[in-house]
Amino acid sequence: MIERGGRFLLVEEVDEGRIVFNQPAGHLEARESLAQGCAREVLEETAWHFRPSAIVGIYRWSRLPAGSGPSYLRFAFCGELGAHEPERKLDAGIVRAVWLDLDEIRALRARHRSPLVLRCIEDYLAGRRYALELLTDYA
C-alpha cells in the first residue's frame, strides 16, 4: 500500500483482455526475498522506488469457485516511497501508474482486478501493520 497525500498508487493493467486496476504485484525471482520482490515489482510497474517497512496483511483469493482453479497468495506491504523515474518503461501489460483517492478507488470497484484491491487499502487505513521480521527467507 503506497499512500501519498491521501492518494494510493495503483496500476491500470491488462488482465484477460480487460483493463483493470490493481496494486503493483508480481512474482518472486530466484533468491529474492518477499520484500525485495515487492520493491522490484513496484519499480517495474510504476517507475517509483519503494522500500517496504511493514506487512499490512497476507491474503488468499481464488478467482473461480473454491477448488476449481488456482488460488492467489498476496503479501501486502506498506512502506516508504522513494524517487520517481518518469522516463522508465513500465512492464508489459501495464497501461499506466495512477494515484487515486479512496472515493475514486471505490467508484472503480467493478474494474478492480480482485476484491483484494479495496480490502488491502481498508486494512491499511485501519492501521494493520506487522513487522517484516514475521517473514523468514532461506535463500
- Does residue 138 form part of some domain? no
Q: How many structural domains does the chain have?
A: 1
Residue 62: which domain range? 3-131
Element holding 42 (H helix, E strand): helix 34-46
For range 122-128, the mean pLDDT: 98
CA 67/CA 16 separation, integer angstroms: 21
- Does residue 59 form part of some domain? yes
Give 53's Cβ-side CA count (13 Å radius): 9
**Beta-bridge mates of residue 60:** 73
| CATH code assigned at 114 | 3.90.79.10
* pTM score: 0.93
- Does residue 136 form part of some domain? no
Distances (CA, A) of 80 to 52, 72, 89, 93, 119: 6, 25, 22, 25, 20
Structure confidence by residue, pLDDT tens digits, 52-98: 999 999 999 987 766 667 888 999 999 999 999 999 999 999 999 99
